[in-house]
């Protein structure tokens, strides 16, 4: 949180999102209970950037990604490309905010079918952390909610 935010009460409606946030936890929830505390592996590396002008970018690499045999990405085998693609996600575009609801409008997505769609997230605050939770999503065992917890590592421009 920014210094000014630590002295005043920060709410989901008032938190300044600008800056770079690092993923702290990634969980799947159903019926008020966490059913998977490691949705993107045990040690994912993910960042979300909120920029001036209501722009954002998201990058996520699952934990435990293996290195490829060659340091030249053009020399990757098809098996290595598939493994890399299955464990990485990224998207960017403009965003809108209405109170505690955030909408990411995907202009570009690693998963092309999501380009042109919207990701709706509910904003939460847990101490110094920002939480972004999806709306309920279909799952074989019943609807689930994805909850991502973030820690700000760099402020945005003031």
pLDDT of residue 9: 82
Domain chopping of the chain, boundaries:
3-38+45-61+89-155
Question: For residue range 71-91, what is the model confidence (pLDDT) as tens digits?
Answer: 998 999 999 999 999 999 999
- For the range 102-106, what are the long-range contacts, defined as Cβ-Cβ under 8 Å and sequence gap of 24 or more? 102/17, 102/132, 104/56, 104/58
- C-alpha span between 134 and 127 (Å, rounded): 20
Q: Is the pTM of this model over 0.85?
A: yes
- DSSP category for residue 77: -
Per-residue confidence (pLDDT) for residue 68, from 0 to 100: 92
- Predicted pLDDT of residue 157: 61
Regions of the chain with pLDDT less than 50: 2-5, 7, 158
CATH level 2 (architecture), domain 3-38+45-61+89-155? Beta Barrel (2.40)
Mean pLDDT of the chain: 90
């Amino acid at each position: 949180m920014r210094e000014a935010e630590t002295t005043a009460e920060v709410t989901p409606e008032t938190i300044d999102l600008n800056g770079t946030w690092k993923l702290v936890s990634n969980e799947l929830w159903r019926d008020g209970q966490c059913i998977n505390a490691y949705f993107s592996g045990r040690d994912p590396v993910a960042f979300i950037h909120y920029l001036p002008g209501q722009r954002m970018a998201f990058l996520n690499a699952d934990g435990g990604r293996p290195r490829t045999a060659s340091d030249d990405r053009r020399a990757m085998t098809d098996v290595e490309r598939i493994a890399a693609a299955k464990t990485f996600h990224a998207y960017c575009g403009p965003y809108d905010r209405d109170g505690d609801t955030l909408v990411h409008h995907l202009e570009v997505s690693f998963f092309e079918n999501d380009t042109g769609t919207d990701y709706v997230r509910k904003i939460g605050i847990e101490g110094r952390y920002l939480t972004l939770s999806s709306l309920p999503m279909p799952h074989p065992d019943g609807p689930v909610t994805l909850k991502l917890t973030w820690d700000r590592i760099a402020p945005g421009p003031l």
